[in-house]
């Protein structure tokens, strides 16, 4: 298997895990817009490419796929997911499988208010959300929601701009500065949960699921987590994900309160916390290899131990400037 990681950025450990499973059979290619993106130096070969909003970006990626005989492509940043989804046919025409959802699913996942509406339509428990200050005030008057609340950009990623708001004056000021914010029920009394899931490329079925409780979160995601297993969670997620069209790895954020799970967000890519799943023995790389070779993966849940802790830390890549 030859795999291309677009927008590799800082995801060094993920590429290391792929290399560990793949060994010498197949190669890892990475792209980024900068020679100082550390993860590109974990790959067998890298390319510096235009920004994703450049007209030459997709033609450049397609050329790399042809040159390197790539069989599967993925991205590690949210804004590029829709781009790959839109150009799926062009990749498939040259024999490249795309680890990205269909266009409609990609759009819903990137628009947090549309995600809320979509989940509501399909009777899937989620966090109460308002798309504007007027509808929030109506909800407040009807005692459907109360302060504090949680606000975040409708189309944001990496937790940028997400924060707790304590009163109406602060909320009105926040919405005035950024009208794109959505307003959510504050789930401070709930348990923060994350799940790494693999949706088989061939069968489009959920075939692997790793769940973990968040012990500590930094900007952009969880930094300390502990694994657990719950059949009720597995059933909830398998039912919820049937109303989407995913392909490959996804990262799901949830809350658990009073015996019920609430779906919060879905990132249709490798999440930063997938390192925990891999370290606990849940190897999506093998599942991707099977799909690339035309083999459907059989569903397998709970094939890991509970109470395995992940503790994330910072590391560095050191290079001479002449080698960049």
* pLDDT, tens digit, 9 for 90 and up, residues 214-258: 999 886 689 999 999 999 999 999 999 999 999 999 999 999 999
Q: Which residue has the tokens 């370290």?
A: 279
- Which class for 91: exposed (0-12), middle (13-18), buried (19 or more C-beta within 10 A)? buried
Percent of the chain at pLDDT exceeding 90: 95
The pLDDT assigned to 157 comes to 74
The pLDDT assigned to 160 comes to 77
pLDDT tens digits, residue range 152-207? 999 977 677 889 999 999 999 999 999 999 999 999 999 999 999 999 999 999 99
d(CA 306, CA 244): 28
The pLDDT assigned to 141 comes to 98
- Which class for 180: exposed (0-12), middle (13-18), buried (19 or more C-beta within 10 A)? middle
pLDDT tens digits, residue range 250-284? 999 999 999 999 999 999 999 999 999 999 999 99
pLDDT tens digits, residue range 58-90? 999 999 999 999 999 999 999 999 999 999 999
DSSP secondary structure, 15-68, as one string: HHHHHHHHTTSS-EEEEES-TT-GGGGGSSEEEE---TTSTTHHHHHHHHHHHT
Residue 104 pLDDT greater than 90, yes or no: yes
d(CA 251, CA 232): 18
Closest CA to 168 of 136, 143, 142, 144: 136
Please state the rounded mean pLDDT for residues 94-120: 98
Backbone φ and ψ of 318, nearest 5°: -110, 125
The pLDDT assigned to 156 comes to 75
The pLDDT assigned to 219 comes to 66
pLDDT tens digits, residue range 38-64? 999 999 999 999 999 999 999 999 999
Please give the mean pLDDT across all residues of the chain.
Answer: 96
> Residue 277 is inside which H or E element, if any?
helix 274-279
Residue 129 pLDDT greater than 90, yes or no: yes
The pLDDT assigned to 218 comes to 82
């Amino acid at each position: 298997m030859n795999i291309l990681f677009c927008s590799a950025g800082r995801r060094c450990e993920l590429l290391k895990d792929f290399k560990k499973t793949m060994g010498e059979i197949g190669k890892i290619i990475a792209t980024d817009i900068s020679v100082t993106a550390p993860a590109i130096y974990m790959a067998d070969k890298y390319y510096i490419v235009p920004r994703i909003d450049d007209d030459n970006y997709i033609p450049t990626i397609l050329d790399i796929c042809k040159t390197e005989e790539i069989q599967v492509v993925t991205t590690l940043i949210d804004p590029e997911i829709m781009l790959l989804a839109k150009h799926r046919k062009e990749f498939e025409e040259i024999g490249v499988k795309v680890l990205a959802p269909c266009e409609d699913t990609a759009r819903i996942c990137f628009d947090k208010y549309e995600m809320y509406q979509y989940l509501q339509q399909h009777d899937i428990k989620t966090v109460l959300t308002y798309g504007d200050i007027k509808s929030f005030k109506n909800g407040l008057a009807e005692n459907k929601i109360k302060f504090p609340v949680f606000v975040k950009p409708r189309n944001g990623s990496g937790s940028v701009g997400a924060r707790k708001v304590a009163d109406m004056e602060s909320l009105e000021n926040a919405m005035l500065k950024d009208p794109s914010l959505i307003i959510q029920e504050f789930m401070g009394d709930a348990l923060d949960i994350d799940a790494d899931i693999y949706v088989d490329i061939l069968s489009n079925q959920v075939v692997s699921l790793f769940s973990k409780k968040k012990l500590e979160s930094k900007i952009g995601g969880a930094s300390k987590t502990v694994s657990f297993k719950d059949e009720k969670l597995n059933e909830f997620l398998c039912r919820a994900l049937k109303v989407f069209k995913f392909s490959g790895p996804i990262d799901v954020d949830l809350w658990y309160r009073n015996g019920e799970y609430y779906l919060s967000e879905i990132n249709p890519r490798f999440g930063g916390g997938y390192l925990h799943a891999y370290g606990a023995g849940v190897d999506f790389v093998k599942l991707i290899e099977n799909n690339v070779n035309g083999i459907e993966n059989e569903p397998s849940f709970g094939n890991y131990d509970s109470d395995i802790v992940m503790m994330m830390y910072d590391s560095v890549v050191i290079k001479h400037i002449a080698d960049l």
